[in-house]
């Protein structure tokens, strides 16, 4: 845990010392506002931990870590416009606090900055190619997610592909970049990428569960928000698959309701159907399978267990295996 | 002219053969729709001509040329959202034909693709750094332009800095990238960059003049559109500087009017003030000075005149020196 804390601190310091730019202030204030908010720094941490595990130079790895965090924050700023989200990490979103023109433009500048940061260390061209690939995948994932809102038939495979593109590939790329800047063997870079995809899938599916089955106080989101928003999550799609005809029809009806309907009542009714089918148990099985594959990939890397310890601990914290 | 036509044709072929992606189609259709429209291909042409002049390999230079065109089209898609522009090159803009979410997202994907293309040839990391720098400058220029709409005091220097960032730096970078991929000497790369800045400034100021003093049929834009839109162009700012007190106040009044005012009448009145001050002549002097500096930079490159011929011809066509 000492190592994890130290890397977190090093990244925080590096971020604070970064000059994102100054004028015109309408462009740069939203960037500072977004990136200096304390997030989990999940992606930079995966990058730094992968690099550390493989014996890379931390000073070099801070650049892709910064690129990843800048890139991730760009996606948040643009996604919040599309999702009309009023709040992010408990504070007003950029398009809400300023306006959507400014949110578009500062997001664009952050995307360009992310490439500049990725190009800084050795292996910069390779890191920038990895960033380009994941950037396009994430646009595809976000577009799929937007499509799902109006798309009549969404299959479980569609949904898994969407969360792979929208969430998992960036965690995988964070590990890949850390391994690349450490000049690791291609097989180890690939194993870490696979590890990232699987913990990413697990992570997102847990998020789907937490929407409904979590302590609101701890988790900080409203109970059943996905249901109120008619979000076609894994829970909903699995329930459609397993439910008897009558419940299936009822679910579809409930997910066609607009927000003017009694929210509490709707959430309760959906929850009752989910519980009757043990949807939570179903999703937990799928999550366990992704976790198993993830740690299998990590195990396949030919390094003493001692070297893998920090990354393993961090991933276990994320997956909820370790509290 | 044969060389210019051939490079244009080569670029068109290269562009047509590029696979921008397929699924989800809501992401990729707007990209194809935008980039396959026949524009002037000004930026790729400057890149290819610079590379050709310096004896570079055309196959290598097609990559930064493609990066530049993709990047430029990304800026158009996002700018059109901010400017609420209904038409672009006579066709519906992306946000208008689809919606602004799709316009944001396909623009983002194009920006990422532009970096991927820049990274392909030799010197890829350097080309991508150049693209990153210009991308940020262009965001700054666009933000300044947005600020001018509500900013009370805009100086001529502010305006020149805005068009430098919004227009000139991309032409300069196009030439710089062509010279970089040709592995030219740093001094020659710099001279071409300076050439680009100056033709870019000249180009934009001519655009300001053409808004008012051009044959609408040929130019294809409405007469006095900038005046109707209260755009603080060089013409307006120079007129404010030179006009006697009464005319200055009147100009400020006219540029505070909303569109419900009689447009024709307003344009006529502004035009009369401009003419009384010979604003057109004033701007033409400034343009001539930028052109002089541009060709001085080109002259400073130690190559036989024969090698510079195509780029010179192309730039003369642009600057209107050659019809």
Percent of chain A exceeding pLDDT 70 equals 96
Cβ(A166)–Cβ(A142) under 8 Å?
A: yes
Strands of chain B, DSSP E: 87-88, 91-92
Closest partner residue to B78 (CB to CB) among A26, A108, A112 is A108
Banded model confidence at residue A311, pLDDT cuts 50, 70, 90: very high
- Mean pLDDT score, B126-145: 98
Name beta bridge partners: A88: A91
ipTM value for the complex: 0.95
Q: What is residue B259's predicted lDDT score, i.e. its pLDDT?
A: 66
Q: What is residue A258's predicted lDDT score, i.e. its pLDDT?
A: 75
Q: Phi and psi dihedrals of A223, rounded to 5?
A: -65, 125
- Measured distance CA(B125)–CA(B136) in Å, rounded: 17
Banded model confidence at residue B139, pLDDT cuts 50, 70, 90: very high
Q: What is residue A298's predicted lDDT score, i.e. its pLDDT?
A: 97
- Mean pLDDT score, A278-282: 97
Residue of higher predicted confidence among B218 and B120: B120
Q: What is residue B213's predicted lDDT score, i.e. its pLDDT?
A: 85
In 3D space, the residue among A103, A98, A102, A101 whose CA is nearest the CA of residue A80 turns out to be: A103
pLDDT tens digit string along B17-65?
A: 999 999 999 999 999 999 998 788 999 999 999 999 999 999 999 999 9
Q: What is residue B25's predicted lDDT score, i.e. its pLDDT?
A: 96
Token look-up 């068109």 returns B12
Q: CB under 8 Å to B133, separation ≥6 — which residues? A: A116, B173
Q: What is residue B161's predicted lDDT score, i.e. its pLDDT?
A: 98
CB neighbour class for A240 (10 Å; exposed up to 12, middle 13-18, buried from 19): buried
What does the longest C-alpha to C-alpha distance in chain A come to? 60
- Mean pLDDT score, B127-134: 98
Buried b (16+ CB within 10 A) or exposed e, B3-37: ebeebbebbeebbeebebbeebebbbbbbebbbee
Chain A interface mutation, best of B20, B119, B164, highest count of A Cβ atoms under 10 Å: B119
**Residue A78 predicted with pLDDT over 70:** yes
Q: What is residue B220's predicted lDDT score, i.e. its pLDDT?
A: 57
Judging by DSSP bridges, how do beta strands B91-92 and A87-88 pair with one another?
unpaired
Closest partner residue to A112 (CB to CB) among B21, B104, B136 is B136
- Measured distance CA(A8)–CA(A45) in Å, rounded: 7
- Measured distance CA(A264)–CA(A251) in Å, rounded: 15
Q: What is residue B323's predicted lDDT score, i.e. its pLDDT?
A: 52
Would an 8 Å CB–CB cutoff place B115 in contact with chain A? yes
- Measured distance CA(A208)–CA(B270) in Å, rounded: 61
Banded model confidence at residue B92, pLDDT cuts 50, 70, 90: very high
Helix (H) or strand (E) holding B295: helix B279-299
Would an 8 Å CB–CB cutoff place B143 in contact with chain A? yes
**Residue A260 predicted with pLDDT over 90:** no
**Residue B300 predicted with pLDDT over 90:** yes
Percent of chain A exceeding pLDDT 90 equals 84
Closest partner residue to A113 (CB to CB) among B105, B136, B140 is B136
Would an 8 Å CB–CB cutoff place A115 in contact with chain B? yes
Residues of A in contact with B119 (CB under 8 A): 125, 128-129, 132
Judging by DSSP bridges, how do beta strands A91-92 and A87-88 pair with one another?
antiparallel
In 3D space, the residue among B284, B288, B293, B283 whose CA is nearest the CA of residue B195 turns out to be: B293
**Residue A322 predicted with pLDDT over 70:** no
For the CA atoms of B26, B31, B37, B38, the dihedral, rounded to the nearest 10 degrees, stands at: -170
- Mean pLDDT score, B275-304: 96
Q: What is residue A38's predicted lDDT score, i.e. its pLDDT?
A: 74
Residue of higher predicted confidence among B321 and A146: A146
Q: Please state, as a whole number, how many other Cβ atoms lie within 10 Å of the Cβ of residue B155.
A: 11
Q: What is residue A259's predicted lDDT score, i.e. its pLDDT?
A: 66
In 3D space, the residue among A24, A42, A205 whose CA is nearest the CA of residue B146 turns out to be: A24
Token output for B199 = 């033709």
Domains and CATH numbers, chain A: 185-323 (1.10.600.10)
**Residue A244 predicted with pLDDT over 90:** yes
- Mean pLDDT score, A106-117: 98
Q: What is residue B31's predicted lDDT score, i.e. its pLDDT?
A: 97
């Amino acid at each position: 845990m000492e190592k994890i804390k130290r890397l977190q601190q090093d990244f925080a310091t590096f971020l604070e010392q970064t000059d994102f730019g100054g004028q015109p202030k309408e462009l740069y204030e939203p960037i500072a506002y977004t990136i200096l908010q304390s997030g989990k720094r999940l992606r930079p941490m995966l990058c730094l931990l992968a690099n550390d595990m493989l014996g890379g130079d931390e000073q070099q790895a801070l650049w892709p870590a910064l690129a990843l965090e800048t890139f991730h924050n760009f996606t948040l700023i643009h996604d919040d416009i599309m999702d009309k989200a009023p709040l992010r990490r408990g504070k007003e979103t950029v398009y809400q606090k300023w306006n959507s023109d400014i949110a578009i433009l500062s997001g664009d500048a952050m995307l360009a900055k992310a490439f500049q940061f990725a190009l800084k260390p050795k292996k910069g061209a390779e890191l920038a190619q990895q960033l380009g690939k994941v950037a396009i995948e994430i646009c595809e994932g976000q577009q799929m997610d937007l499509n799902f809102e109006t798309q009549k038939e969404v299959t479980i495979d569609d949904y898994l592909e969407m969360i792979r593109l929208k969430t998992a590939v960036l965690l995988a790329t964070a590990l890949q970049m850390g391994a690349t800047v450490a000049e690791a063997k291609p097989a180890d870079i690939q194993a870490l990428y696979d590890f990232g995809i699987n913990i990413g899938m697990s992570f997102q599916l847990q998020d789907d569960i937490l929407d409904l089955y979590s302590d609101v106080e701890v988790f900080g989101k409203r109970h059943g928000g996905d249901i109120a928003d008619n979000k076609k999550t894994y829970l909903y799609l699995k329930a459609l698959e397993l439910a008897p005809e009558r419940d299936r029809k009822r679910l579809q009806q409930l997910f066609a309701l607009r927000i003017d309907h009694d929210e509490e009542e709707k959430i309760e009714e959906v929850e009752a159907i989910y519980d009757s089918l043990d949807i939570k148990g179903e999703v937990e099985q799928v999550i366990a399978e992704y976790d198993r594959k993830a740690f299998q990939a990590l195990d396949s890397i030919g390094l003493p267990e001692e070297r893998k310890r920090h990354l393993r601990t961090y991933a276990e914290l994320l997956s909820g295996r370790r509290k």
